[in-house]
Chain A
């Protein structure tokens, strides 16, 4: 444990451990909560997040499922209707496509189709994102597809504090919540206030205040946004970095307020540019704050290509701090 200058005690831990602690705490706190998914138990989770939980909580509460994404996601929906609080893990977002029917046609619609009689308190954890040379079926950033759907909440923890706290908040939500965990961040560490607890799921967060340009990222694109802000600061440019945190419902107010201060906007997205979540951010700024802009909006997003395997090509396809810096400089030119 360390104590920062501000006097708050923190400890350093990895995203993997932050997510794992969140799971352990949720299982310990409420016996209606159980975890199920492929290899969450004996294997310890495909990325090691649920290591040790089977021994601690037993096979009723940490359930290994067959390779049946649609069935176990749908079973999670039914179990949620039946008064439990399931946490379903889908191994990665590309496999979540096999459960799209249950997520989009059932979880997101039951409340509406039943005229408000039913609700689905289900949490689905989905590892996502690029950065490990896993090629075109294991690297994509598809959070935005789910964020398109009314009836779902989509959250994208990009800090250790959110990784630790978002699960408890998601479990408290009476409606389905999808938590997207960045595969590339599992091994990364950050500082967690020892007092950290549940976090709000409604608001975007300003991760770095600034006054010259607003840089918006989320999930896996927060890191290049922050790194770019650091580089820009060295050159005398003050960038404000906004972490969207939740893609649905989208907190556009925080972005609009920031743009009203900086008058310049750069969005950073590991998803493809066309129709990605930050395209919606851009649209809202264009609708509601066009007058505030002193420069054209800049977009740094994934190239329109399935992610390639070779490192240099994967890197070239994705936003980098350098590309964000260049975009910010164009906006400031």
Chain B
């Protein structure tokens, strides 16, 4: 393991986490507006309310570690360092997008940053993450794969098959379950007989525990521990990150299945408010500090939108590209 990687994982920088969460929140809100304006089409799943997971998990990884995510991955992609303009260009379907415009919101990729999507099959990325970790193990590289998925994925066979395989072979993968209590309109207790997801994951013989997913520092520290565990060869870990989405499942969702009171209760635990308050109390965030971070994020977004909008669309003659290896003519 590189010295840097081990040092990275013990130091938590709360200000950086706050900045990341604010950038994610503002980007997601802008995406919603852009969707309503017709600039983004297809399915759009936002992670407003879940920013502590994205910021905390991704910050605990080193640059050589790999990330596998779902269709609700804007926050993960941004926290991984993919530039906003590349994310927005992807959602606009431009060739300057991080997936050349072929993927859209649900399929963000960046090979150079080892960001392996963007999988819109619930649980479909879990075997893939297991395999990335297998390759690292096989090649004797000190890298870890972080695999993000929702509570709904825990009901899928691919989840169970993969956890068993990863534990059996002691693969360096950290399974990060974003438990936001709903799979589309189906509440956790309406689809799981045992709702303690960490308990179930732990039955496969790996370390599994639940974390307050509204607390970015707690998420960061738990992930760092899990990553260190996996990196040192002690096998995979499972984190149940208890969180909540403040917005609907997607832009198509009228959100008729949740109580207003429940949503408000969770909004009282807003991860950004919470960390900002903590930093203010400790004298680490001055008056106007949060507003300044928000303004900076908005300026970054304004510029990224302009850059993304200026990106070219792909010529229709290229329609059948990117299917198999392209042999130069």
Binding site for B on A (CB under 8 A): 34, 60, 65-66, 68, 70-84, 86, 101-102, 105-106, 110-119, 150-151, 153, 173-175
Contacts and interface: CB of A to CB of B under 8 A. Distances in A.
Interface in B116-173: 116-119, 121, 124, 126-136, 138-139, 145, 157-158, 161-162, 164-165, 168
A77 B135 CA distance: 10
Interface string B89-101: 0000001011111
Contacts of B165: 65-66, 68, 71-72, 75
16 contacts: A66-B168, A68-B165, A71-B130, A71-B158, A71-B161, A73-B127, A77-B131, A78-B68, A78-B132, A78-B133, A81-B128, A84-B138, A84-B139, A102-B128, A110-B117, A150-B324
B131 A175 contact: no
A74 B165 CA distance: 11
A105 B121 CA distance: 8
B323 interface: yes
Given A115-B102, A151-B323, A78 B130 contact: yes
Nearest to B132: A78
Nearest to A153: B324
Contacts of A71: 126-127, 130, 158, 161-162, 164-165
Contact of B99 (A72, A73, A117): A117
B212 interface: no
Which of the listed residues B97, B129, B131, B321 has the most CB atoms from chain A within 10 Å of its own CB? B131
Contact of B322 (A84, A102, A115): A115
Contacts, number: 154
Contact of A101 (B95, B158, B325): B158
Contacts of B135: 78-84
Contact of A116 (B158, B168, B326): B326
Interface of B: 66, 68, 95, 97-103, 107, 109-111, 116-119, 121, 124, 126-136, 138-139, 145, 157-158, 161-162, 164-165, 168, 321-326
A34 B127 CA distance: 17
Contact of B134 (A66, A82, A150): A82
Contacts of A79: 131-132, 134-135, 138
Contacts of A153: 324
B26 to A, nearest CB: 26
Contacts of B321: 116
B324 A175 contact: yes
A78 B103 contact: no
A186 to B, nearest CB: 28
A81 B103 contact: no
Given A81-B116, A110-B117, A175-B324, A102 B127 contact: yes
A274 to B, nearest CB: 26
A101 B157 CA distance: 11
Given A82-B134, A101-B158, A111 B128 contact: no
Given A78-B130, A102-B128, 17 more contacts: A72-B161, A74-B131, A82-B134, A82-B138, A82-B139, A101-B124, A101-B158, A102-B127, A106-B128, A110-B117, A112-B102, A113-B102, A114-B102, A115-B95, A115-B98, A116-B100, A150-B324
Contacts of A74: 124, 126-128, 130-131, 158, 162
Given A82-B134, A115-B103, A117-B111, A106 B161 contact: no
Nearest to B169: A63
8 A-B pairs with the lowest CB-CB distances in the bound complex, closest first: A74-B127, A78-B131, A115-B100, A82-B135, A71-B161, A68-B161, A75-B131, A114-B109
Contact of B109 (A80, A82, A101, A118): A118
Contacts of A75: 127-128, 130-131, 134, 162, 165
Contacts of A73: 127
A106 B134 contact: no
A106 B119 contact: yes
Contacts of B101: 115
Contacts of B133: 78
Contact of A112 (B129, B132, B164, B322): B322
Nearest to B97: A115
Contacts of B126: 71, 74
